[in-house]
Amino acid sequence: MKEDIPDFNFNQIYQAYYKLLVAFANKYLKNLDDSEELVQLFFTDLLEKMDELNIKNIKSYLYQSIYNRCLNHLKLKSKHSTKISVDYMDSSYNIESSIEATEFEYQVFQLINKLPKACKEIFMLSRFEGYSNDDIAKQKGLSKRTIETQISNALKQLRKEIKALNASEATIIKLNSFFF
């Protein structure tokens, strides 16, 4: 099996890509259980026929395979319910940009998950659920100033984490623009 990864190891590929592929599949299937099952079955199939494959770029192969399986899953599902959105079937669809978006989202949530629990909850309510500081304060039974401090602390920690990343300049700019 030819690879773009030295010393290819199935377990390493599984560990490195499983969560990313589930998130990628979930963009299309909109069901986490179905997404996990689809990726799990893919890896089972990959393990069985690994020696027969001649993969030049493992990342592209993984994402394209999951994308195709998602389409097949949606086609089967559509026979029993609604029609598949034309967006998924559009020949001009750019899978690379979707992969980048999935990986970016994964990085964002990895950074957020490093925050202390209370700080993370407040930050998520503010940034992802659109609650105002007043609404969060009422919901949590805290002062508005405490909420502002927690959000400020979260942003400071995220800035620090972003600087510590050995990511490309473009990714760091994206992360900074996402949070700040």
List pLDDT tens digits, range 122-146.
988 888 778 899 999 999 999 999 9
Q: Are residues 81 and 121 in the same domain?
A: no
Q: What is the number of structural domains in the chain?
A: 2
Show the tokens assigned to 51: 């020696």
d(CA 45, CA 176): 39
Q: Are residues 52 and 140 in the same domain?
A: no
**Which residue type is seen at 96?**
E
Q: Are residues 59 and 145 in the same domain?
A: no
pTM: 0.50
pLDDT at position 4: 42
* pLDDT tens over the chain, length 180 residues: 434 444 467 888 999 899 999 988 988 888 889 999 999 999 999 888 877 877 778 888 898 889 889 888 888 876 655 444 444 444 445 666 666 667 767 777 788 888 999 998 998 888 877 889 999 999 999 999 999 999 999 988 888 887 776 666 666 666 666 665
pLDDT at position 145: 96
Domain region containing 54: 1-93
Q: Are residues 27 and 88 in the same domain?
A: yes
At residue 93, what are phi and psi to the nearest 5 degrees? -60, 130
Q: Are residues 116 and 158 in the same domain?
A: yes
Q: Are residues 64 and 135 in the same domain?
A: no
Q: Are residues 11 and 65 in the same domain?
A: yes
CATH code of 2's domain: 1.10.1740
Q: Are residues 107 and 154 in the same domain?
A: yes
Q: Are residues 5 and 88 in the same domain?
A: yes
pLDDT at position 98: 67
Q: What is the DSSP string of the chain?
A: ---SSTT--HHHHHHHHHHHHHHHHHHHH--HHHHHHHHHHHHHHHHHHGGG---S-HHHHHHHHHHHHHHHHHHHHHHHSSPPPHHHH-TT--HHHHHHHHHHHHHHHHHHHTS-HHHHHHHHHHHTS---HHHHHHHHT--HHHHHHHHHHHHHHHHHHHHH----HHHHHHHHHHH-
Q: Are residues 38 and 88 in the same domain?
A: yes
d(CA 51, CA 158): 42
d(CA 134, CA 125): 11
Q: Are residues 57 and 141 in the same domain?
A: no
